Amino acid sequence: MISRLLSGEYLAPVGAYVVVISLIALTRKFLPSDIVFLFAAVLMFVVPFIMKSEVRGLSWNLRGVLLGLVISVIILSLYVLVIRKPFDLSKVSYSLIIVHLLLVAIPEEVFFRGYLQEKIGNNLMGILLVSLLFAIGHIITRCLFGGCSGSGYAQALLTFFPSIVMGYVYLISGTLWANILFHFLANVVYVATGGL
């Protein structure tokens, strides 16, 4: 599995991933978090285009978006039921909504699904590999320079599971907007329930 990622075919996307995650982690060490958020968002959004990759999933597909909405409602409702924590929308501010949509969900989905999943494989193995990279990226960018405690590492690692959902939603919907919607709503629900 690792040898496939390091083969010539996957060298460019894996190299882009290493550069992006490293730059985000380094800026987190030296710059204020609001600057890092903006830098990370711009970097993840533009790298696929710098790498001359066609990000096909940005085309609008209403059927795919509706499918993403249905999957979001089902999975996030199950999440709320399983964690048994109150759902409090007062924890979700307008600025949080804007940040999580424009600076988190859209750029992360363009980079991880629209670029990496397309290059590594828009199939089950590709979804699993990209989800592993997604979780590792969250661990490195959130925790590398002491930004996490034990539970913070666990929360970063657990991003593997919603990433599988996002990858699958992209695979079956054919549009990034479906998994952008899921990603955004998952973040909002996570905040509204106070996390794990």
pLDDT in tens, the chain (196 residues): 556 555 567 888 999 999 999 999 999 888 898 898 899 999 999 999 999 888 888 888 899 889 989 999 999 999 999 988 888 888 888 888 999 899 999 999 999 999 999 999 999 999 999 999 999 999 998 887 667 777 778 788 889 999 999 999 999 998 999 999 999 999 999 988 887 6
Report the alpha-carbon angle 141-142-145, nearest 5: 85
Q: How far apart are CA 184 and CA 176, in angstroms?
A: 12
Question: Which pairs with CB-CB distance under 8 Å and at least 24 residues apart come from 81-86?
Answer: 83/193, 83/196, 85/193, 85/194, 86/193, 86/194
pLDDT the model gives residue 33:
84
Domain ranges of the chain: 2-192
The candidate with the shortest Cα–Cα distance to 180, out of 129, 120, 114, 136, is 114
Q: What is the 3-state secondary structure (H, E, C) of the chain?
A: CHHHHCCHHHHHHHHHHHHHHHHHHHHHHHCCHHHHHHHHHHHHHHHHHHCCCCCHHHCCCHHHHHHHHHHHHHHHHHHHHHHCCCCCHHHCCHHHHHHHHHHHHHHHHHHHHHHHHHHHCCCHHHHHHHHHHHHHHHHHHHHCCCCCCHHHHHHHHCCHHHHHHHHHHHHHHCCHHHHHHHHHHHHHHHHHCCCC
pLDDT the model gives residue 55:
86
